[in-house]
Structure 1
């Protein structure tokens, strides 16, 4: 899982600085400079040196002010910049000249504000790079190190969101980030929040990488509007996975509306939603769809990491609630465990004969009359070795009874390694709820939300186990495309020549430049054959009558030449025709698949694999991977198809040559790697795969490549 490239910056002096300069410090109530000063001096516990910079003040709150960064008596580790946009570049020049390590730029009015702001932002970056200054922001709410109780931020919420904890949060936007911060009210704290704004330099990926190594961070949460450097992001999440730290990600900009909003907000690339999701799955990022799901999932991981077991237990005192929860477990594709005989014996002895002692457990209303029921049975269930975790749905706040249940949950968890997950379903947040929060249980508020989080938890455990011992992945740097963006499509004959050179198996074929030559080629390879128009300008050959299949003899081949040429002349008279590609037909039977490759602007080349022919457009049963891939990825891609059963001998069909398909995927990946600077798209559709031992080969091939020389 490790990568040696795209190394992130050492952020230790930014996260835990020894000295800080606040440029734009102010005593004007409500101003950015005043709020930042208050958070830094009043609400933080910072024992280093704080320098105030304001050319119009000699002192603020009894502390000396300096007129500029250049005039400071010592060089600070961090400069927090809280001046109007018009003055930021001057401050950055002074910081770079002085040797300041980091500048946190709170000011807005740059890349998010239009073309002129973007030019100013670029100048800022150039100044900083010349002086070795690392930039955080601009257009950001600052940096909050809760575990170190340090707020480099103007937010008035800083003093209210100071519950330390094992979760690290990296976002681009401030509002959603603060929303997640305030989920501290659920009982688990966030140790570090980085909100990177326009990311002129430091990116979310840099902070994921830092958190992957930080000893006080156990779980990493990220909210992304765009990813500027795909390989750096992948390197960061690989580092987190290698260190056993899950990354929970929420990516906005999946719809056209969302993409527009994200771009106007951060001026970031948003990338393709399908590609982003594929990269997340490939590298173990747990993707969620909204803030509630993000919080429930992250808080569950902060409580416990998944182990070897997958199966769940349900413990409840309401039959209807137990059934509702069991339905949700089943609908999510999760499994209820079978209790050990020892657990069943305890439940039989402690619960009435009419209680449900299977899974789910329904204690019935006996909990109202016998206060010891939960105390003597919940711990037994939660400790059953067949369970990954125990779900305790609480349908209502029943006063003292529910408070006692909360106490029993807390006590049972103390003697149990697997997590107990209480679900607080009532809008009445009484004493029982408050006790669970104080004990760090972070109860989800509905069965659906809880099961969604548990499903992500279980799925990540499976991903971890499947990737244990995986060979280190070293991703190549993003290949710079050739030229000015102009492209050309190779003819099928040219594309197949490239594939043959790469060692990819193909059916016998040849390019004919006359009807007679077409017949001779067909006679030589044996019938039946396929005839296809050969032209760089014609990609969708079937649409214009450019393909005929099942030709059984020489006369049919010559007739096909005449008919295809006439049809192409009618539909696309300006096309340059190379001739006809004559190809041996694939054996009868087999399954049609497809392999596609596209260049994503953020991550680079991405492979798409799935059912081929017309079915790819109808069923869209595809899987994706960021290239390059190896044998493990290829095997996973094939088996992730919903229709994998078609290859695996469903309903008496012969098993397909899956090994040949996997080998072909790897060969295509290798081919793309060798031509990464030039290759723009590739479409192998259909790819024929026969029964075991018969192989897999592309029947059609489209390659689009960049023209020109390197820019």
Structure 2
């Protein structure tokens, strides 16, 4: 696991120096000075650096960091022209200042010259131990202690602190989240990382994962520079039971380009990013409002007793709509105990429904005490974790009284009361809910989607599978020589032939069919007779990747004569398809019995996260359905089972139209074997496609029928 730096002196500094302090009103340097001196509750020393030597706010300005009087300085706030940043940072390092926040722009987000400046900063950090936050960022805000190391003019107005930690790369959208949490529990710490030349979002997540005053971590990411470090940070948060709620910008091709332009980062594959978040327990959300809402819900849901949802409303239609949404999201509807329904009957009219959903009818509007009583009863129900309360219209004082009852119930209840204000008329009831930090949703769909994400986080998403990995079935190698060849080239990277790829897989315990490489029609006939019919024959050539298109595959061969004829046809077809192709021979393998499911197992190298394992429906279906699931390697058996369960068409592995269920445990075991093989290869495998993988009935195992393996430059297959 990565070793993360201690950020205590950055988060709670005792002394700071402002490099680029200015007396010119409206300038960023002046706003920074005012935020630190006037709008913060900062009792430490503040040193101002400006070559002019003029005083600012009655304080002297020093011409350089070197000239600042002796004494410890925790953080340097640098807001000078990009061309002057390096000199300031060198002085910071020489002075022994541990942290520098560079708010200046004009770096990698701007041009190649800016990218070169960032490289210089990174080199300085490695050489001296100086830790740099930024550049191209608005600074850091410790809201809970009211310390604004930022030039933002909004700092003085956004001071609602709380137990939510916020890490972003951009400043504007981060401010949006901060202002979305202006009531109730707000943001305690806001790290806005900018270009992340040194310190980045993973460092900030890791700090907040161990900060006792932070309970939930909200993250807004545009690019991922160090995927493995991010994984380590997510692991640390999970170990400390801190939910991490992530909005990842860059899920479409257009979004990826925008994210790269803005932060000069690797945006990565959206599917892989989402898989990583699932794998390491983060909650992925789809927009800014959901980021704020789910973070707030996570905070309120820390002490839930029950797990079910109860719908409560005075509108039968709203009850039905909400119950329908809960069911569609596959959230559990709470089962109410008899004492709960009895207590509701005592309060509500006889014609009200006291089952779940609870329809109080409009009769409740005549007496606000009825709302309080119903909420109190439902919140005490052991099976209820959340009460979903849709309010379809604004009735002025009437719905205002309902809002008051919701606020009161939320203060004392372990169950989470989730109000939904469905009317576009934001009356006093809405304002009351909002100002008391309940963050009312504006649609039932949004509320249920947020509840679903929090529910899945609490449940650990998909339950861990305790099944043991079974032993491998059948043969584990292709005969025909001990050495593995160098193979064909994919682009400029060596790819192994099918024979060599299977031989290597078999060496690592992955099951492949019985077979041999043959060099003549007679040898093919003899081999087919020995291994048994029916058999399959395939051309082996470093120059022919798509064997079927070349006419290089024959299936269901039943006799030695069939094998002899097939050999000659395959070689002739290969010659016509690619006259200059080197044909090493023909692979003869025993065909597996009909009825097996065809799956794909693959590995590719993601720029941000490294080797990623993929499973999906195989054969031609992978191109048509694109039904796949991903995990970052290493993958254990529980991860493998979750991957399989995530497939949209995973039911095809069950008992379908008279077919027995597939050997899912064997498929999961194969996934783990592939993960272990790639991990042991230490970066030597760039790409691996095993397609199809034959998955037999329960007990018959999973066997790699075909394989394409691409090695990293300079890798030696015989060393694997």
CA RMSD, 1 decimal = 2.0
CA distance in 2, matches of 1:682, 1:604: 13
Show CA shifts across 1:373-416 (max 9, x none).
Answer: 21222211222111121111112221111121112112223442
Structure 2 residue 605 is matched with structure 1 residue 599: yes
CA distance in 1, matches of 2:467, 2:182: 39
Shift of 1:447: 1.2
Whether the 8 Å contact between 1:292 and 1:449 is mirrored in structure 2 is no
Seen in structure 2, the aligned counterparts of structure 1 residues 496 and 469 have a Cα distance that, compared at 3 Å, is closer
Alignment of 1:18-417 (within 5 A): 18-73=14-69, 74-305=71-302, 307=304, 309-417=306-414
Seen in structure 2, the aligned counterparts of structure 1 residues 632 and 344 have a Cα distance that, compared at 3 Å, is same
Structure 2 residue 621 is matched with structure 1 residue 627: no
- 1:513 is matched with 519
Structure 2 residue 551 is matched with structure 1 residue 555: no
Shift of 1:574: 2.3
Larger CA deviation: 180-189 vs 105-114: 180-189
Alignment of 1:547-586 (within 5 A): 547-586=553-592
Shift of 1:470: 13
- 2:536 is matched with 530
- 1:494 is matched with 500
Seen in structure 2, the aligned counterparts of structure 1 residues 306 and 593 have a Cα distance that, compared at 3 Å, is farther
**Aligned-partner SS, 2:368:** coil
- 1:477 is matched with none
**Aligned-partner SS, 2:384:** coil
CA distance in 2, matches of 1:692, 1:309: 37
Structure 2 residue 430 is matched with structure 1 residue 433: yes
Seen in structure 2, the aligned counterparts of structure 1 residues 587 and 606 have a Cα distance that, compared at 3 Å, is same
Seen in structure 2, the aligned counterparts of structure 1 residues 555 and 484 have a Cα distance that, compared at 3 Å, is closer
**Aligned-partner SS, 2:459:** helix
CA distance in 2, matches of 1:320, 1:663: 49
Show CA shifts across 1:415-435 (max 9, x none).
Answer: 421111111222333332232
CA distance in 2, matches of 1:343, 1:289: 36
TM-score (norm 2): 0.94
Shift of 1:567: 1.9
Shift of 1:623: 1.4
Shift of 1:676: 3.0
Seen in structure 2, the aligned counterparts of structure 1 residues 309 and 664 have a Cα distance that, compared at 3 Å, is farther
Whether the 8 Å contact between 1:92 and 1:128 is mirrored in structure 2 is no
Seen in structure 2, the aligned counterparts of structure 1 residues 594 and 670 have a Cα distance that, compared at 3 Å, is same
- 1:445 is matched with 442
Shift of 1:182: 0.8
Show CA shifts across 1:243-293 (max 9, x none).
Answer: 111001111111111111111111100111111111011001111111111
Whether the 8 Å contact between 1:188 and 1:442 is mirrored in structure 2 is no
Shift of 1:317: 0.7
CA distance in 2, matches of 1:265, 1:304: 35
CA distance in 2, matches of 1:485, 1:175: 42
Whether the 8 Å contact between 1:99 and 1:132 is mirrored in structure 2 is no
**Aligned-partner SS, 1:113:** coil
Seen in structure 2, the aligned counterparts of structure 1 residues 589 and 467 have a Cα distance that, compared at 3 Å, is closer
Seen in structure 2, the aligned counterparts of structure 1 residues 128 and 43 have a Cα distance that, compared at 3 Å, is same
Whether the 8 Å contact between 1:219 and 1:302 is mirrored in structure 2 is yes
Shift of 1:367: 1.9
Whether the 8 Å contact between 2:689 and 2:708 is mirrored in structure 1 is yes
Shift of 1:689: 1.4
Structure 2 residue 594 is matched with structure 1 residue 588: yes
Alignment of 1:611-626 (within 5 A): 611-626=617-632
Shift of 1:467: 5.8
**Aligned-partner SS, 1:649:** coil
Whether the 8 Å contact between 1:186 and 1:443 is mirrored in structure 2 is no
Whether the 8 Å contact between 1:161 and 1:184 is mirrored in structure 2 is no
TM-score (norm 1): 0.95
Whether the 8 Å contact between 1:340 and 1:384 is mirrored in structure 2 is yes
**Aligned-partner SS, 1:20:** strand
Larger CA deviation: 230-239 vs 560-569: 560-569
- 1:700 is matched with 706
Q: How many residues align?
A: 695
Shift of 1:187: 3.5
2:547 to 531, 541, 544: 541
Shift of 1:644: 2.8
**Aligned-partner SS, 2:182:** helix
- 1:668 is matched with 674
**Aligned-partner SS, 2:603:** strand
CA distance in 1, matches of 2:490, 2:703: 33
Shift of 1:359: 1.2
Unpaired runs of at least 5, structure 1: 472-482
CA distance in 2, matches of 1:467, 1:139: 42
Larger CA deviation: 691-700 vs 134-143: 691-700
CA distance in 1, matches of 2:237, 2:712: 35
Whether the 8 Å contact between 2:305 and 2:383 is mirrored in structure 1 is no
Whether the 8 Å contact between 2:542 and 2:582 is mirrored in structure 1 is yes
Larger CA deviation: 249-258 vs 428-437: 428-437
Seen in structure 2, the aligned counterparts of structure 1 residues 133 and 214 have a Cα distance that, compared at 3 Å, is same
Show CA shifts across 1:12-59 (max 9, x none).
Answer: 100111100000101101111001011111110001100011110231
Whether the 8 Å contact between 1:6 and 1:232 is mirrored in structure 2 is yes
**Aligned-partner SS, 2:60:** strand
Whether the 8 Å contact between 1:23 and 1:54 is mirrored in structure 2 is yes
CA distance in 2, matches of 1:286, 1:279: 10
Show CA shifts across 1:208-242 (max 9, x none).
Answer: 00000111111101111111111110000110011
Unpaired runs of at least 5, structure 2: 469-488
CA distance in 2, matches of 1:464, 1:338: 22
Show CA shifts across 1:56-99 (max 9, x none).
Answer: 02311101111110111123110000111111111011111111
Seen in structure 2, the aligned counterparts of structure 1 residues 249 and 422 have a Cα distance that, compared at 3 Å, is same
